[in-house]
Amino acid sequence: MKAISYRRYGGPEVLEYGELPDPKVGPDEVLVRVRAAAVNPVDWKAQAGYLDGMFETVFPVVPGWDVSGVVVRPGVSVTEFAEGDEVMGYVREDFLCHGTFAEYVAAPIRTLARKPRAYSFEEAAGLPLAGLTAYQSLHTALGVRPGETVLVLAAAGGVGSLAVQIARHLGCRVLGAARASGRDRVAELGAEPVDLDEETFTRRVRELAPDGVHAVLDTLGGPFLPHAARLLAPGGRLASIADGEVLALGGRYYWVRPDAADLAALADLADEGVLTVRVDRTFPLEQTAEAQRANAAGGLHGKVVVTVP
Ligand SMILES: NC(=O)c1ccc[n+]([C@@H]2O[C@H](COP(=O)([O-])OP(=O)(O)OC[C@H]3O[C@@H](n4cnc5c(N)ncnc54)[C@H](OP(=O)(O)O)[C@@H]3O)[C@@H](O)[C@H]2O)c1
């Protein structure tokens, strides 16, 4: 199959485009013909070696964890999916080797759900990793409830924009903190915008929520995290997906898990029109390095997606 891979840690320059053997399909995996794979910051962080202490790495590594595509062959014990099913997945295994920037990936069924009918393959590829992170952070890490006020840091980003939509759907009031360039996007998603500006951030949140916020979801890290921690109402909860310093602030550091039931819930929300995924840029598979550069450069308010026609 045609695939993107790297043989040593590094930036986009280590990516190679060429032939690799087709994946073997385990008993509880399905072979997916990839149609689209979204780029996430973790792809280029893993490729740079930052996750070396966390995941065994078997070179050459095909990067990429997000996927949408079509099942071409279910494993011998799979009854959940059949040939021709359109699926999406967060195909994170316990080691780095078989990713989604390729024509085919063998995906464990615990990482997959049906593709939302209302979504294109490109949109569906942008949902699993960011959507599961937002969904699980709000439900599992923060336990948000209807009527609560939730502050989301970096609310215009991939995870942040989905967190805003999910929290709104749960009946929360959402304050969405973003750079000034993301203000309109945050408002469009249904949150009350707060500029990520050192001068005005705390004052603005206190104006909007004088009694404090019930929950903070940090998808940014850095100096706004301790500021946000001070804005919690008594008993308020704090979680970060981007900064381990959250533990020192009494909050929870959350890592997204592959979960077929949560992913199926996201597919339902997508089909009900609750969740939209904005795709900003697409690149063909052989230009995955360019796609990574576009994601790392920031300034987009939607996903960067690699397509495999
Ligand atoms: N723990 C987990 O399970 C987990 C899961 C998913 C993601 N993450 C991490 O969470 C973070 C966000 O992921 P994502 O997929 O949402 O990324 P993304 O789509 O690239 O969005 C990042 C957002 O952060 C904003 N931003 C970046 N630097 C900023 C700064 N200095 N000041 C203000 N805003 C800034 C960006 O705004 P601009 O576009 O204006 O730059 C953008 O809106 C990444 O660090 C990622 O690795 C962790």
**In contact, 84 and 70? CB cutoff 8 Å:** yes
- In this structure, the residue with its CA closest to atom 48 of ligand 1 is 241
Supply the mean pLDDT for the chain.
97
Q: Which residues are bridge partners to 246 per DSSP?
A: none
pLDDT of residue 225: 98
From the CA of 7, how far away is ligand 1's center (Å)? 27
Q: Write out the two tokens for 64.
A: 């990429």
pLDDT of residue 151: 98
CB neighbour burial string for 80-111, b if at least 16 within 10 angstroms, e if fewer: bbeeebbbbbbbbbeebebbbbbbbbbbbbbb
Task: Return the C-alpha torsion angle 208, 214, 218, 222, nearest 10.
Answer: 70
pLDDT of residue 150: 98
Q: Which amino acid is present at 297?
A: A
Residue 248 DSSP code:
T
pTM above 0.95, yes or no: yes
Q: pLDDT tens-digit profile of 244-259? A: 999 999 999 999 999 9
CB neighbour burial string for 42-60, b if at least 16 within 10 angstroms, e if fewer: bbbebbeeeeeeeeebeee
From the CA of 19, how far away is ligand 1's center (Å)? 32
Nearest to 26 by CA among 73, 75, 72, 74: 75
Q: How far apart are CA 304 and CA 288, in angstroms?
A: 10
Q: Express as a percent the part of the chain with pLDDT over 90.
A: 99
Give the pLDDT band of residue 15 (cuts 50, 70, 90). Answer: very high
Test site for ligand 1: of 39, 43, 90, 133, most ligand atoms within 8 A of the Cβ = 133
Domain boundaries, the chain: 2-127+277-307, 132-253
Q: What are phi and psi of 176, to 5 degrees?
A: -110, 110
- Mean pLDDT of the 108-115 span: 98
- Mean pLDDT of the 170-187 span: 97
Ligand 1 pocket (Cβ < 6 Å) reads 40-42, 45, 130, 133, 154, 156-160, 179, 181-182, 196, 219-220, 241-242, 254-256, 295, 298-300
Q: pLDDT tens-digit profile of 126-171? A: 999 999 999 999 999 999 999 999 999 999 999 999 999 999 999 9
Q: pLDDT tens-digit profile of 217-233? A: 999 999 999 999 999 99
Which atom of ligand 1 is found nearest the CA of 255?
3
CATH number of 132-253: 3.40.50.720
Q: How far apart are CA 126 and CA 304, in angstroms?
A: 8
Which atom of ligand 1 is found nearest the CA of 159?
16
- In this structure, the residue with its CA closest to atom 25 of ligand 1 is 154
pLDDT of residue 230: 98
Which atom of ligand 1 is found nearest the CA of 299?
39
From the CA of 158, how far away is ligand 1's center (Å)? 7
- The distance of Cα 18 from the centroid of its chain, to the nearest Å, equals 27
Test site for ligand 1: of 227, 241, 262, 301, most ligand atoms within 8 A of the Cβ = 241
Give the pLDDT band of residue 190 (cuts 50, 70, 90). Answer: very high
* Contacts of 98 by beta carbon, 8 Å cutoff, 6+ apart: 23, 62, 91, 105, 106
- The distance of Cα 1 from the centroid of its chain, to the nearest Å, equals 26
**In contact, 159 and 241? CB cutoff 8 Å:** yes
**Helix H or strand E encompassing 135:** helix 128-136
**Domain over 2-127+277-307 is classified CATH 3.40.50.2300:** no
From the CA of 83, how far away is ligand 1's center (Å)? 36
Q: How far apart are CA 56 and CA 46, in angstroms?
A: 11
- Mean pLDDT of the 14-30 span: 98
- In this structure, the residue with its CA closest to atom 42 of ligand 1 is 157
Which atom of ligand 1 is found nearest the CA of 42?
47
Strands 303-307 and 149-153, bridge-based pairing: unpaired
Q: Which residues are bridge partners to 281 per DSSP?
A: 304
pLDDT of residue 234: 97
Q: What is the CA radius of gyration of the chain?
A: 19
Nearest to 44 by CA among 301, 298, 308: 298
C-beta contacts of 248-252 below 8 A and 24+ residues apart: 249/225, 251/216, 251/218, 252/141, 252/142
Q: pLDDT tens-digit profile of 63-93? A: 999 999 999 999 999 999 999 999 999 999 9
